[in-house]
Amino acid sequence: MSLYIGVMSGTSLDGIDVSITDFSDDQIQLVAAETYPFSEQLRRDLHQLIATARTHLHQLGQIDIALGHAYSEAINQLLDETQIPANHIVAIGCHGQTVFHAPDCRYPFSMQIGNANVIAEKTGITTITDFRQRDMVLGGQGAPLVPAFHQALFHSHNENRVIANIGGIGNITILPKDKKNLVSGFDTGPGNVLMDEWYQQHHLDLYDANGDWARDGTVDEELLDILMMDSFFGQAIPKSTGREYFNLKWLANILTQVDKAIPAKDIQKTLLEMTARSITDAITTYTEDTDAVYVCGGGSHNEVLMNALRKHLPGISVETTSKLGLAPDWVEACAFSWLAMRTLAHQAGNLPAVTGARKPSILGAIYPSNINS
């Protein structure tokens, strides 16, 4: 067995996804996976840091270390539950928590926290993090990085596929069945982030389970038109974005342009429609012969959102990645375990056709374990 651990906590801040994946004999096999909740204090600290984009260095350092401990505890808990010894794991690939993504500034950067020194020391396992920055040094967006994994796991010679990941931010990977055609992919805009934040303003829960609140709402077409006029949606690819751009402040500014009161659940339904429309517009704009769309990420559990995708993609099958053999909750965590494997093998992890980088590159910073010392 060749076991790797992947760790992912996305912009939705709904928990820490940990997977154990076996990459033996050129196969990709999920061995175990679980989601572990953030402590309420850590979730609040992360949300405030991301939402305000402001902090003191002391606070940033504390959150970075605290998140490293939270990742370590989640990893060790899964190892305990599966009774897999730490020395059976080759490495951990940890995406970290994105707190700011700035691909278009003078010195492009993407900042993920969750201290890898803590993870390597507390787990005793070599840890690989900071996957995005090398791509950005080469002129790339640093995101999305999962399309290379999508290609390795989900490519079909018989079907033109799109993998739609709907986390906090949405992104798609276009997988032509003819391997002569390049794989492409990019961020499409808000996935769950605006729906989640709007829901949290009106309810005690973190998200609209199954889209039940939105289900009772009505799309406000005037608001939807204004939302869809944002320049990001028409921006040429490659492109990426994050919560530092699409957030409640962005939404509040747009709501001031609508000269009427809109019921809260109608805004929720309109935000859901914006997510669906931005994803399906991206698919129809950049690929003309899609046979099937496979959805992963938290949005795959939103029944109303899935139905909206199907409505806008008539004649195209829309399912979750479960149909391809990997449950939608674990695709991204598995992707970062795969990227860790690529790093240790001195193989490139980025796709320049996706990110816009000048060339393929080995990604990630390696924090060796002391397990054999």
CA–CA gap between residue 300 and residue 165 (Å, rounded): 8
Per the annotation, does 291 bind a ligand?
A: no
Does the annotation place 266 within a ligand binding site?
no
Q: What number of other Cβ atoms are within 10 A of residue 294's Cβ?
A: 26
φ, ψ for residue 330 (rounded to 5)?
Answer: -110, 5
**125 appears as a binding residue in the annotation:** no
Is 205 annotated in a binding site? The answer is no
Residue-level pLDDT at 373: 44
Q: How is residue 237 annotated by DSSP?
A: S
**Model confidence pLDDT, tens digit, residues 185-201:** 999 999 999 999 999 99
Write down all domains in the chain, each with its CATH number in brackets.
3-141+329-367 (3.30.420.40), 147-328 (3.30.420.40)
Separation between Cα atoms, residue 172 and residue 293, nearest integer Å: 9
Tell me if 130 is assigned to a ligand binding site.
no
* Burial class of 191 by CB neighbour count within 10 A (0 to 12, 13 to 18, 19+): buried
| 89-94 and 317-320 beta bridge pairing | unpaired
- Cis amide linkage into residue 314, ω under 30° from 0: no
For the chain, counts of helices (H) and of strands (E): 14, 13
Q: Is 167 labeled as ligand-binding? A: no
Task: Please state, as a whole number, how many other Cβ atoms lie within 10 Å of the Cβ of residue 3.
Answer: 18
- Establish whether 10 is an annotated binding residue: yes
| pLDDT tens-digit series, residues 232-290 | 999 999 999 999 999 999 999 999 999 899 999 999 999 999 999 999 999 999 998 99
104 is in an annotated binding site: no
What is the chain's alpha carbon radius of gyration, rounded to the nearest angstrom? 20
Average pLDDT, the chain: 96
